[in-house]
């Protein structure tokens, strides 16, 4: 199957899945007792204003009709008003999403870089203490939830050994760079503000690590076993025999195929990064969409909850398509068409 038609097919299916998800969310959001219009205006608001708002929000209609209006809004970028911020949820998402993306991207970067590093290290020193250490870390990494890790980091670096900032995205007194992408690290680099860049990066380390440690060592184990397996393969010896340059051998014949199994579980890792971000952002006071979503959930801000889940569903679906594409790139034997079912 051609790449473009594969991507289109996957995207179409994703739209179907997201539509289904929207129905599930809509049902969850509407079974809650309480009148959203009354909630939005407060207990002392006069009845006529509440009625007017109910009509404006189409709450006086039947559920399927309400869904129709809601999904129409979603399609046109109108997700309704948030109870907490009192403005359209779309604006909230535009404001809070970049911080979360930055956090998840940096922790994904941690996972990729360090898992290859530790995986290669474990393969190189197979069956030595290095290998055992990484194995133990893999077991512990999975067993320690990222929110526990975050709390421990907060205790260690917030109080006992305060060398890295533990709260927020930037130190007080440092002006954030003008918003271009919303990712402070990138924006500060684009505008050439190195001090802001480093400050932002320092703030990223702990939350990103708290998210990354779990998946990181697991991936390292996967890289390790793939590499040990591939190192014994005849084609590598053959490549050496042909006198190929070192970087071609390590890069193309050893590393690339060894990454395939690691990349294919990356989709699941991203899921764990994104959902754990929900707790970690709260702990590190990270002004991202997860903290916003968490607050929305605790306060039953239904429009915000629905929007956050839709956005995460969308990101998750796209990431999974991307992961499949990368795996296909790394391993030409995989035919994309066969995997779509």
Partner 1 sequence: MGNLVKHKKLAAMIALVFFTAVVLAGCGGGGDQEGTSQGGERIIRISEANVPNIDPGVGSDYASSIALVNIYDTLVFPDHDGSVKPWVATDWETSSDGLTWTFNLRKGVKFHNGDELTAEDVVFSMERMLTMGEGYAYLFTEVVEDVKALDDYTVQFKLKKPFGPFLQTLVRLYILNKEQVVSNLGDGPYGEMGDYGKEWLITNDAGSGPYMVKELKKQEYLYAVKFDDYWGGWEEDAPEAFKIIGTTSPSTIRTLMTRRELEITDQWQTKEALEALDNIEGVEVNAAFTGTILNIMLNTKKAPTDDVHFRKALTYLFDYDTAVNSLFPGCKKTVGPISESLPGFSKDLTVFEQNLEKAKEELAKSKYAGSLDQYTVELAWIAEVPDEEKVALMLQSNAQELGINVDVVKVPWLSFVDQIAKPESTPNASLVFVSPHYGEAGTIFESRYHSKSTGTWEQCEWLQDKELDAMIEDAIGTINFEERLPKYGAIQKKIVDLAPTIWAFDQAEKRAYQADYVMWPAAERIKKDEPVTPVMGYMFYFRDFKVYPDRIPQ
Partner 2 sequence: MNISVQSKQEVPALSFSVRVKSGVKKNWYKFSRNKLSVVGLIIVLIIVFSAIFAPLIVPYPHHAGKFVDYANAGTAPCAEYWFGTDNFGRDIFSRIIFAFRGALYMAALVLAIAVPIGVFLGLIAGYYQGTFLDTVIMRVTDIFLSVPPLLLALAIAAVLKPNLTNAMIAVTVMWWPWYTRLVYGMATSTRNEYFVKASELIGAGRLHIIFREILPNCLSPIFTKMALDVGWVILIGASLSFVGLGEQPPTPALGQMVSDGTRYMPDLWWMTVFPSLAIAVTILGFNLMGDGIRDMMAKGEYDRE
Residues 292-311 that bind partner 1 (CB under 8 A): 292, 295, 298-301
124 binds partner 1 (CB under 8 A): yes
Which residues 60-79 are close enough to bind partner 2 by CB under 8 A?
A: none
Which residues 220-259 are close enough to bind partner 1 by CB under 8 A?
A: 231-234, 236-237, 240, 246, 249-250, 254-255
- Which residue, 256, 254, 266, 250, is CA-closest to 218? 266
How many residues are given for the chain? 341
Of 88 and 276, the one with the shorter C-beta distance to partner 1 is: 88
Smallest distance, Å, CB 321 to partner 1? 27
How buried is residue 213: exposed, middle or buried, by Cβ count under 10 Å (0-12/13-18/19+)?
buried
11 binds partner 2 (CB under 8 A): no
Phi, psi dihedral angles at 81 (to 5 degrees)? -90, 145
Of 9 and 126, the one with the shorter C-beta distance to partner 1 is: 126
The CA-based angle 313-266-102, given to 5 degrees, is 65
Smallest distance, Å, CB 85 to partner 1? 5
Residue with tokens 């009509």: 55
Q: Rounded to whole angstroms, how far apart are CA atoms 268 and 333? A: 22
With CB under 8 A as the contact rule, the residue among 170, 271, 321, 328 that binds partner 1 is 170
- Which residue, 108, 98, 315, is CA-closest to 208? 108
Task: Decide: 135 and 239 in contact? Cβ < 8 Å.
Answer: no
With CB under 8 A as the contact rule, the residue among 7, 18, 142, 201 that binds partner 1 is 201
Of the listed pieces 16-24, 43-51, 135-143, 269-277, which binds partner 1 according to CB under 8 A?
43-51
Which residues 133-172 are close enough to bind partner 2 by CB under 8 A?
A: 139-140, 142-145, 147-148, 151-152, 154-155, 158-160
The CA-based angle 315-115-336, given to 5 degrees, is 50
Of 210 and 336, the one with the shorter C-beta distance to partner 1 is: 210
Kindly list the distances between the CA atom of residue 58 and the CA atoms of 70, 143, 276, 299, 301, in Å, as whole numbers in the listed order: 9, 46, 35, 22, 17
Residue 173 binding partner per list partner 1, partner 2, none, with a CB distance cut-off of 5 to 8 Å that depends on partner kind: partner 1
Of 28 and 45, the one with the shorter C-beta distance to partner 1 is: 45
With CB under 8 A as the contact rule, the residue among 317, 323, 327, 330 that binds partner 2 is 317
Of 160 and 194, the one with the shorter C-beta distance to partner 2 is: 160
The CA-based angle 299-304-309, given to 5 degrees, is 110
- The DSSP symbol for 181 reads S
142 binds partner 1 (CB under 8 A): no
């Amino acid at each position: 199957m051609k790449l473009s038609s594969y991507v289109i097919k996957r995207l179409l299916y994703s739209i179907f899945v997201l539509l289904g998800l929207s129905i599930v969310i809509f049902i969850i959001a509407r079974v809650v007792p309480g009148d959203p219009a009354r909630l939005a205006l407060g207990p002392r608001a006069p009845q006529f204003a509440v009625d007017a708002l109910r009509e404006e929000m189409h709450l006086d209609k039947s559920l399927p009709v309400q869904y129709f209006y809601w999904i129409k809004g979603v399609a046109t970028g109108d997700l309704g008003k948030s109870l907490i911020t009192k403005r359209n949820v779309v604006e909230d998402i535009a404001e809070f999403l970049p911080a979360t993306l930055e956090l998840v991207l940096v922790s994904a970067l941690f996972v990729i870089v360090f898992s290859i590093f530790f995986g290669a290290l474990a393969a190189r020193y197979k069956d030595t203490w290095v290998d055992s250490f990484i194995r133990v870390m893999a077991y512990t990494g999975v067993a320690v939830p990222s929110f526990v890790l975050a709390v421990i980091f907060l205790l260690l670096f917030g109080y006992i050994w305060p060398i890295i900032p533990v709260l927020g995205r930037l130190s007080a007194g440092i002006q954030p760079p003008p918003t271009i992408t919303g990712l402070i690290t990138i924006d500060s680099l684009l505008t050439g503000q190195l001090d802001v860049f480093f400050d932002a990066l320092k703030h990223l380390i702990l939350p990103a690590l708290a998210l990354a440690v779990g998946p990181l060592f697991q991936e390292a184990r996967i890289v390790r076993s793939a590499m040990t397996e591939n190192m014994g393969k005849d084609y590598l010896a053959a490549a050496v025999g042909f006198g190929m340059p070192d970087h071609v051998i390590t890069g193309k014949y050893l590393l690339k195929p060894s990454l395939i199994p690691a990349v294919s579980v990356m989709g699941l890792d991203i899921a764990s990064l994104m959902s754990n971000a929900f707790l970690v952002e709260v702990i590190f006071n990270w002004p991202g969409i997860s903290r916003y979503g968490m607050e929305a959930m605790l306060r039953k801000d239904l429009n915000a909850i629905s929007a956050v889940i839709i956005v995460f569903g969308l990101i998750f679906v796209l990431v999974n398509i991307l992961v499949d594409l990368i795996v296909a790139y790394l391993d030409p034997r995989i035919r994309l068409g066969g995997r779509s079912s």
